[in-house]
Amino acid sequence: MAFDDKIKDHEARRAKAMAMGGPEKIEKRNNAGVLNARTRVEYLLDGGSFRESGLFGTSYIKEMREQTPTDGKVCGFGDIEGRPVGVVAYDFTVKGSSSSYTNNRKMSHIKDMGAKRGFPVVFLSESTGIRMPDVMGEGMGLTNEGNRFWRKRESPWASALMGYAFGSAAWHACSSDFNVMRKGSVMAVASPRMVSKALNREVTGEELGGWKTHAEHSGFADAVADSDEEALDLIKQFLSYLPSNQNEEPPVKPVPPGSDEGGEKILELMPESLAKTYDVRKIIKAFIDKDSFFEIKARYARSLTTGLARLDGRTVGLIANNPQFKGGVMDADGCCKATSFIVMCDSYNIPLIFLQDQPGFLIGPEAEQNGVIGKIINWMNALLQVSMPRISLILRKSYGRGFINMGAGGIAEEVAAWWTADVSFMDPRSAVTIVHGVEEKDDPEKFNQLVDDMRDRGGSAYDLAAVYGVKEVIDPRETRAYLIAMLKYHRSRLTGGVGQHLLSCWPTSYV
């Protein structure tokens, strides 16, 4: 057969590259219930759609070529639900998937093509960081990755951390629009070993940068998964809400049966007393398309709920005060959470819906030390640059500056209120103490009388409607119909549903 030697040589080289770090390392991962890089790619993508780029890449150091199949990164293109994506999968069985000259070039190509051709890029990350001694001394001159962590949000990036994530694995996670961490993963600037040596004490991976650290404190984990498979499913679910690039509208999905039935339950979910709390996520799930709520940063700044959902089959972004946590008060972390979500939604042509029920922003020495003032204004700076439709709905109380940051006061194109709304500069009970110096514990009768006087100063939904401070007062059970109608009228027909993207260069990991 013609070229028989060439065919055999090609097949042998291909088999060696596909073998990754060898059967022993792969079996060890399988026994631990951890997927390898190629299995992760297969699980993520539509069957048979993966086209690899750089299969025969190896270390640039000749002596290490035999030890570095694909140079520790499995890169290429494929489809998710029929839509093209780029994939970078870190192969931990090869040199801990450490970053080096060749695999940096491979990753850069995928990222560049995603931006240039308009498709998302997904990072399946697990890495020990940069490869040494390759980059010691003159090796630093070979790197070409520095400029590729700056990005406009032209096409979505999504990241799944499924093990140790140092170096570029961490950089990609913090540069992504969505980052999920599998439990047991660790993300940090440097490894526990290096940090322990620097601090001269033992530092565990969980203490340094485990999933709880980033899901509950730093906010860098947008979601948490129990397994590799769940992490990959969350990536696919997230991308289903977004367009392939910023010049498209998000995909429209069929409306599930029963989506119109939840609204009747809203009055059962909402307590009549302002002193009682509730979980706003139950309210959200009552009026959106059935089973479409995808919460983002659920464990971080919990008094503010953010998430994607669908209304009448179309993607929307929701920012809602959640009185179940801290009474719905907004703090510095909540400001960062809101700002990050606003930026992402506007960058990818997603309308924003605000649900207000908040007592204002957190005050006090700790709040000021956390920079709450500047973060309130950064939230406002982002909100004022949004070019997609904004709708604000006041559910119950809305006091102080939060009234404006949550879209009212002339910010959102449409502002409405439930007939349960109560709006003022501050909580009337606090106002009585400040203005009159009367405490409830000292004189309950006088205190309650003064509170009633404060409430009579015109903060109801109908008082706001009288001065066109809200454009409609609605029955809570009408919420779904109202929002669908407003989104229909405010669709950006002149630009095909595409916004101006004034926020697309805002830092992805701003805090």
CATH of the domain at 178: 3.90.226.10
pLDDT, tens only, 407-423: 999 999 999 999 999 98
pLDDT at 446: 58
Q: Does 399 share its domain with 438?
A: no
CB 121 within 8 A of CB 85: yes
Examine residue 275 and state whether it is found in any structural domain, yes or no.
Answer: yes
Number of neighbours of residue 116 by Cβ within 10 angstroms: 10
Q: Using pLDDT thresholds of 50, 70 and 90, give the confidence band for residue 148.
A: low
Look at strands 51-52 and 73-80 and give their pairing. Answer: antiparallel
Q: Does 35 share its domain with 168?
A: yes
Q: What is the mean pLDDT of residues 20-36?
A: 90
Q: Does 83 share its domain with 213?
A: yes
Examine residue 140 and state whether it is found in any structural domain, yes or no.
Answer: no
Examine residue 41 and state whether it is found in any structural domain, yes or no.
Answer: yes
Which of 183, 209, 241 is where one domain is finished? 241
The answer, yes or no, to whether residue 229 has pLDDT greater than 50, is yes
pTM, full prediction = 0.91
Q: Using pLDDT thresholds of 50, 70 and 90, give the confidence band for residue 285.
A: very high
Give the phi and the psi of residue 90 in degrees, each rounded to 5.
Answer: -80, 120
Residue 217 DSSP class: I
Q: Does 364 share its domain with 232?
A: no
Examine residue 139 and state whether it is found in any structural domain, yes or no.
Answer: no
Angstrom distance (rounded) from CA 354 to CA 312: 18
The answer, yes or no, to whether residue 21 has pLDDT greater than 80, is yes
pLDDT at 214: 95
Q: Does 216 share its domain with 105?
A: yes
**Sequence letter at residue 181:** M
Domain count, the chain: 3
Angstrom distance (rounded) from CA 11 to CA 6: 9
Q: What is the mean pLDDT of residues 465-487?
A: 96
163: left (phi over 0), alpha (psi -120 to 50) or beta: left
CB 454 within 8 A of CB 428: yes
Q: Does 111 share its domain with 170?
A: yes
Angstrom distance (rounded) from CA 127 to CA 130: 8
Q: What is the mean pLDDT of residues 30-49?
A: 95
Q: Does 234 share its domain with 301?
A: no
Q: Using pLDDT thresholds of 50, 70 and 90, give the confidence band for residue 146.
A: very low
Q: Using pLDDT thresholds of 50, 70 and 90, give the confidence band for residue 432.
A: very low
Integer angstrom CA distances of residue 292 from 111, 278, 281, 411, 428: 29, 20, 12, 27, 37
Which of 241, 274, 299 is where one domain is finished? 241
CB 98 within 8 A of CB 107: no
Quote the domain boundaries for residue 84. Answer: 4-133+153-241
Q: Does 210 share its domain with 274?
A: no
CB 326 within 8 A of CB 351: no
Examine residue 23 and state whether it is found in any structural domain, yes or no.
Answer: yes
Q: Does 436 share its domain with 478?
A: no
Q: What is the mean pLDDT of residues 381-399?
A: 96
Examine residue 497 and state whether it is found in any structural domain, yes or no.
Answer: no
pLDDT, tens only, 298-340: 999 999 999 999 999 999 999 999 999 999 999 999 999 999 9
pLDDT at 442: 61
> Residue 416: which of 477, 355, 459, 360 has the closest Cα?
355
Angstrom distance (rounded) from CA 241 to CA 350: 9
What lies within 8 Å, CB to CB, of 200 at 6+ separation is: none
Examine residue 39 and state whether it is found in any structural domain, yes or no.
Answer: yes
pLDDT at 311: 98
Examine residue 501 and state whether it is found in any structural domain, yes or no.
Answer: no
pLDDT at 510: 63
pLDDT, tens only, 172-191: 999 999 999 999 999 998 77
Name the CA dihedral angle for 378, 384, 387, 388, rounded to a multiple of 10 degrees. 80
Integer angstrom CA distances of residue 83 from 118, 158, 260: 11, 15, 30
Which of 412, 435, 457 is where one domain is finished? 457
Q: Does 332 share its domain with 224?
A: no
Q: What is the mean pLDDT of residues 443-458?
A: 59
Q: Does 371 share its domain with 447?
A: no
Q: Does 345 share its domain with 396?
A: yes
Angstrom distance (rounded) from CA 208 to CA 199: 12
